[in-house]
Amino acid sequence: MRLGQFVTEGGVQVRVWGETDVLVVSTPIPGVLRVRLAPQARANGLGFPRLTEKRSFALHPDLPEPERLSVQEDGETLQISGGGLTLQLNRSSGAWRVTGGQDGGPERELASVLDWSGDAPTARPAMTAERFNLRRSRLSVAAPEGAAYLGFGERVGPLDKRGMQLTFWNTDCYPHHTDTDPLYISVPFTTVVQGGLAHGIFVDETWRMTADVARTNPYALDFASAGPELDVYVLAGPRPADVLRRFADLTGHAPMPPLWALGAAQSRWGYRTADDLRAVIAGYRERNLPLDSVYIDIEYMDAFKVWTVNRAGFPDLKAFVKEAAKEGVKLVPIIDPGIKLEAGYDVYEEALKNDYLVRTARGDVLVGEVWPDPAVFPDFTRPEVVAWWAGRHKLFTDAGIQGQWNDMNEPACFSLAQPRETEGKTLPYDALHGSRSHLEMHNAYANPMSQASRAGYAKYSPEIRPWIISRAGYAGIQRHATVWTGDNAATWSHLALSLPMIGGLGLSGIPFAAADVGGFGGDTTGELLARWYQTAVGYPFLRNHSAQGTVDQEPWRFGEPYTSVIHAALELRYRLLPHLYTLAHLASQTGLPVLRPLALHHAADETALRTDSQYLLGYGLMVAPVMAAGHRGRQVYLPAGRWAAVFNLAEFGAVHDGPAHVTAEAPLHTLPLYLKAGEALPLTEPAAHTTQARWPRVTWLAHLGETGFVGQLYEDAGDGPLEGRSTRLIGDREAGRLSIRREAEGAASLPEQRETLHIIGLEPVREVQGAASFSYEDGVLRLTLPARWEEVTVTWVE
């Protein structure tokens, strides 16, 4: 490969080309370098030497003007700099490397591309497996020894994907196992961590693609795509959190969820009528179990026809939504993309008339089978279809529905009327989305479907924050929906898998992700369900969901002691809501996940980097659940810092200095929690359901560090516009004295609060000024704070 010619275009793009290949460099935002690689560009119809414009389903649609670039030519080397990063290109070989230092990090090599190449299209037999070149474009990036590779979307296995072969092809996979790949969500983005420093690599290609993560060649990360190009982004660090912030700026931030979506949810494939749901809600209320939403599966539809209601089971949907609302419960219905092929069915007739459907390679409407049989599929990759689907949401908004569950949107297809070559239960490779093949559009399909959902609620219910959950997705899905890990199973292994899966999605730029509590398939047990609820105390959202034909798994189904254990776990979840809601707000602003693997904040710690059986809820609250049958304790890893045992947020125990492994005794009713010194958590009292994110009673739990502590609280109406207030609780420690104050931002008017403050790590107190009352017992100082307090000082004898 030789790339002899180059030109700078508008000062913001550099295009380099040779006889057949084109490379284009730009900097879309500071700290991110884009390198669009088009091998065999002329033969592949991409335009030569000027490439045709490319549509991205991942990037935020309103990115700022790109950064300006400077170019230096030194023989065969071309040096292109912009946005704090520099690309050095060897024009003889095509190899290139990116260097840079951001946010105080050292100048260093971020990515070194060893080779990139591609094939021109060839004539292949029309109906053979060989007619699709799934390795049409290839990229090899150096994989330094010891580097960890985090992210890559929804995956099983450990957080570090080094040594794995990954496929990007959204797949309806049930059941999945500990080695199943691929799954439902494809995000070709990884955070590379070495020696505590991080950078990101994102390949923005929706085509079917694979990543060999130093498996075949232990020193190379190799991508192979069925598409004609590879669109590569290199993101600077220096910390994993910095990489995630840049990825969120590039692909868009997740919207702030409504408060009710963070409360407890109950779901089951098998709730068939409004009476079934009434019984579920009554079961929760009679037992004083918190509940904020119920999800309804496909049985509410008329013969599985989307955008219809089975009037026998739900004679008045709007009235039932109002009835549930009186109990503090929201209704979240399912919607699938498959449309029943039925003459006279208005959704089908409109889609057919307006040519909104996916077609076969021969131009016929593609017909398959999902829950409706036969079924056809909307082509969401076209804006006019997105607008049409958005308009259909009026059925829900007119009924007062505020949340939606987009399922089967890989898209799933059980069988085809005219079998063609495909991979898994989906549409054939050569199905057409306009002029583009399904091989290219498959991974993107769920994004515009969820975009349509968000647009529908914005049009008809602009005063709310809609809650949209999607089973499938591609990079950028976080702008439109949250996700869950799909159809898991009621097994201990799937409980344990949930943490690296949710954590991996968070490290892939999707800050709101969760797993079905109790397991979807198979029969759960009382112990498994109880331990799963404890594990899920810090899931970004908490939904109990199961399949028809399995045992009922509402919290009370297994009797005592399990009902009481689950009740305590749910109350703990609701006590944590001020902290969870604050983390949700931070996620919407920064891209950092709610549930955080230890690797996010302890990247230089090799043990923390590969620990995935516990997690951080924010920066300093460690959650270490028991996830094995019959176990009544576990080993917990505590990274550097001082950690106080605060089991169940009620039992204040030993203080440990990390890094260290400690043993946590955890009978069935106990969830091991540890609070890091320097942290303060906002808590509240449990309730039957959420109301507003303006808590009249707040208890701060603080662990005093060497310099004091800091806590953060975000409050607003819990729905609607983000018109809230952020409060920082600051405790400054110096020479036997602690000064405590608040700093607030935001003009929102909030109710007068009753605040208490519990401080761990203090010596016996000599004097307290500014508090309404205080007590000191067993190393914990408890302060009752007066209304509109400004400053509290505590002194002690050191």
So where are the chain's domains? 5-54+66-251, 692-796
Give the closest residue to 59 by CA, choosing from 178, 271, 229, 202. 202
pLDDT at 395 over 50: yes
Q: Prior bond to 175 cis, omega within 30?
A: yes
Predicted local confidence at residue 42, as pLDDT: 85
DSSP classification of residue 380: T
pLDDT bin (cut points 50, 70, 90) of residue 126 is: very low
pLDDT (tens digit per residue) in 596-639: 999 999 999 999 999 999 999 999 999 999 999 999 999 999 99
Question: With contact defined as beta carbons under 8 Å apart, do 465 and 719 qualify?
Answer: yes
Per-residue model confidence (pLDDT) at position 751:
60
Q: Which residue has the tokens 């007119």?
A: 398
Whether the predicted pLDDT of 124 surpasses 60:
no
- The token duo for 58 is 């991942």
pLDDT at residue 550 tops 60 = yes
128 pLDDT band (50/70/90 cuts)?
Answer: very low
CA nearest neighbour of 711 among 673, 665, 760, 751: 760
pLDDT in tens, 474-528: 999 999 999 999 999 999 999 999 999 999 999 999 999 999 999 999 999 999 9
Q: How confident is the model at residue 123 (pLDDT cuts 50, 70, 90)?
A: low
Q: Is 467 left (phi over 0), alpha (psi -120 to 50) or beta?
A: beta
DSSP 161-184: -TT-EEEE-----SS--TT----S
pLDDT digits (tens, 9 = 90+) for 233-270: 999 999 999 999 999 999 999 999 999 999 999 999 99
CB contact at 8 A, 423 and 411: no
Quote the tokens at residue 10. Answer: 């508008």
Q: What is the mean predicted confidence (pLDDT) over 538-542?
A: 99
Quick check: pTM over 0.85?
Answer: yes
| pLDDT at res. 749 | 63
Find the range with the poorest average confidence among 103-107, 185-189, 651-655, 666-670: 103-107
> Cα separations (Å) of 598 from 180, 238, 241?
24, 16, 11
pLDDT the model gives residue 753: 75
DSSP state of 258: P
- 629: DSSP letter: T
Question: What CATH code is assigned to 5-54+66-251?
Answer: 2.60.40.1760
Phi first, then psi, for residue 261 (nearest 5°) are -70, -15
Nearest by Cα to 444 from 475, 471, 420: 475
pLDDT of 750 higher than 70:
no
Residue 421 tokens, joined: 């070559």
Q: How far apart are CA 546 and CA 542, in angstroms?
A: 13
pLDDT single digits (tens) 717-736: 999 998 899 999 999 999 89
Please check the confidence at residue 747 and state whether its pLDDT lies above 90.
no
Q: Name the pLDDT band for 212 (thresholds 50, 70, 90).
A: very high
The fold adopted by the segment(s) 692-796 is Immunoglobulin-like (2.60.40)
The set of catalytic residues is 407, 410, 487
